[in-house]
Amino acid sequence: MNAIDYLRISLIDRCNFRCQYCMPEGAELAYVQQQDWLTRPEILTLLRAVFIPLGFTRFRLTGGEPLLRPDLAEIIGDIVSLPETQDVALTTNAFLLADQAQPLWDAGLRRINISLDSLDPDTFQAIIGRPGKSRWHEVWAGILAAHRVGFSPLKLNVVVIPGVNDHEVLDLAGLTLERQWHVRFIEFMPIGNDALFGERGWLPSEEIRQKVRDRWGLTEGTVRGNGPADVFQIPGALGTLGFISQMSECFCDRCNRMRLSADGWLRPCLLNENGQINLREQLRSGVPLPEIRAQVGALLAAKPEINYKMRESGTVGAYGRTMSQIGG
Ligand code: SAM
Ligand code: SF4
């Protein structure tokens, strides 16, 4: 059985993009009020007194868009300074990264995942639902800044949507030929935009792998990280390819993570709200830390059964929040 030692911490549910598959323009999301965000000291307290004693050692900061969180670098510094921390990573759309890459590195961050769904500024603009072709260029500048500063492995996330960006999978895979980057193709999930999912469906990872095989060949590879990606490599390429295939190949039984939302909800599973606990309310109403730890411990103990049930039922269960709200 997997050790459950990986916590994804959403720092904010807002975003400066409106990706079609995540938080499409017009979909009204009830944002968490800023006073309800877990504060920097609350996050540190929860890690020190609850999660680390229960065996969590690896953390990812996400959102919404975490670069919008004003105290991001300080939160990273706090987590890095904990002696038990083995890994801290960040997932971002990179729009604000060109200026923040160096301060984040200086704060101690060493791993970063960047969403990049297209190499074409027009397609990119259509996907992110925000006007201005310059956004792609800002994101690309952010990626290059992260590369320059030394982030490694630099991972690029691509959500593949049939008829929108699937014609670019070889161009995106080709980024790894001469760069030591890790390009990960993610199967589109029906969470965030059911209408788009119904209209476009999703592309199985194996179809992408076959396209790459036909063009260059493909061998198995390895990359450092915590994720469920299957890793491959184009022969002779400097970088690697990853495939996150939660639609075609349920990996719930291997799940090693829990998720903490910006407003403090701890959920044991992306697609399942059963058993979730609001840790912010507990902290602010003065519930003693050992008691909070006992509740989280009980949820942790229940997780293998939750994973098993998700595996049996197929991945896509009931959910009431989008990826941007949960912390994808
Ligand atoms: N804003 C940051 C970003 O885009 O990288 C971090 C948060 S975003 C919610 C985290 C990841 O969730 C991104 O890689 C995004 O592509 C993925 N995601 C969001 N909605 C998705 C969906 N419906 N299916 C698959 N992946 C999705
Ligand atoms: Fe924002 Fe990331 Fe969702 Fe796109 S995927 S809307 S960048 S949170």
Summarised one tens digit per residue, pLDDT across range 224-273 is 765 666 899 999 999 999 999 988 887 787 888 899 999 999 998 877 77
Strand-pair partners of 233: 219
Evaluate if residue 320 carries a pLDDT over 90: no
Q: Distances from the Cα of 293 to the Cαs of 55, 56, 220, 263, 268, in angstroms?
A: 11, 12, 40, 18, 15
Is 172 within the bounds of a domain?
Answer: yes
Evaluate if residue 324 carries a pLDDT over 50: yes
Neighbours of 254 (CB within 10 A): 11
- What SS3 class is residue 196? helix
Q: Find the CATH number of the domain harbouring 281.
A: 3.20.20.70
* pTM (2 d.p.): 0.93
Q: What is the pLDDT of residue 317?
A: 46
Mean pLDDT over residues 81-95, rounded? 98
| Rounded Cα distance, 105 and 90, in Å | 11
Is 17 within the bounds of a domain?
Answer: yes
CA dihedral in degrees (306, 311, 315, 321; nearest 10)? 0
Pocket of ligand 2 (CB under 6 A): 15, 17-19, 22-23, 63-65, 93, 115, 324
Q: What is the pLDDT of residue 243?
A: 95
CA dihedral in degrees (270, 275, 280, 283; nearest 10)? -140
Q: What is the pLDDT of residue 47?
A: 98
Is 23 within the bounds of a domain?
Answer: yes
**Residue whose CA is at the smallest distance from ligand 2 atom 4:** 19
Number of domains in the chain: 1
Is 322 within the bounds of a domain?
Answer: yes
Q: What is the pLDDT of residue 246?
A: 85
Evaluate if residue 308 carries a pLDDT over 80: no
Is 214 within the bounds of a domain?
Answer: yes
Q: What is the pLDDT of residue 177?
A: 98
Structural domain containing residue 177: 6-326
**Distance from the alpha carbon of residue 285 to the mean position of ligand 1, in angstroms:** 32
**Distance from the alpha carbon of residue 286 to the mean position of ligand 2, in angstroms:** 34
Is 1 within the bounds of a domain?
Answer: no
**Distance from the alpha carbon of residue 286 to the mean position of ligand 1, in angstroms:** 34
**Residue whose CA is at the smallest distance from ligand 1 atom 10:** 328
Is 55 within the bounds of a domain?
Answer: yes
Is 49 within the bounds of a domain?
Answer: yes
* Bridging pattern class, strands 240-244 and 230-233: antiparallel
